[in-house]
Structure 1
Amino acid sequence: MDMQQKEQTPLTIPQVAFDWYDEYAHGDIDRRTFLARLGTLGIAGLTLGAMTTALTPNYALAEQVSFNDPEIKGRYVEFESPEGHGKGRGYLVVPAGVDEMNDAPTVLVAHENRGLNPYIEDVARRLAKAGYIAFAPDALYPLGGYPGNDDEGRAMQRTLERSKIVADFIAAAQFIKKHEFSSGKLGMVGFCFGGYLVNQLAIDLGSDLNAGVPFYGTPAEDGFEKITAPLQFHFAELDKRVNGTWVDYQPILDKLGKTYTAHTYAGVNHGFHNDSTARYSEAEAELAWERTLAFFAEHLRG
Structure 2
Amino acid sequence: MNDILFVRFDPLEDSIESVPNLPGNYIVTLRKGISLPDIGITPFFTMFQGMNVIYIGLAGTSLQDRDIKKHFKGNAGSSTLRKSIGCLFGYELIPRDSQFKKNKKTKFSKEDEILLSTWMTHNLLLFYYPNTDYISIEEKLIQKYNPPLNLDKNMNPINKEFRAKLSLLRNVVPCQDSNSIFVANTDSRVKRIGGIGLYVEIWEKMLPFILSAIEKREDSTIIGSDIFENVGKRKRSGYSFRLNISDAEVPIKKGSAVARDLKKVLDASLKFRELAKGHFITISMDKSCRLYVTVV
**TM-score normalised to structure 1 length:** 0.24
- TM-score of the superposition, structure 2-length normalised? 0.25
Specify the structure having the higher radius of gyration (Cα).
2
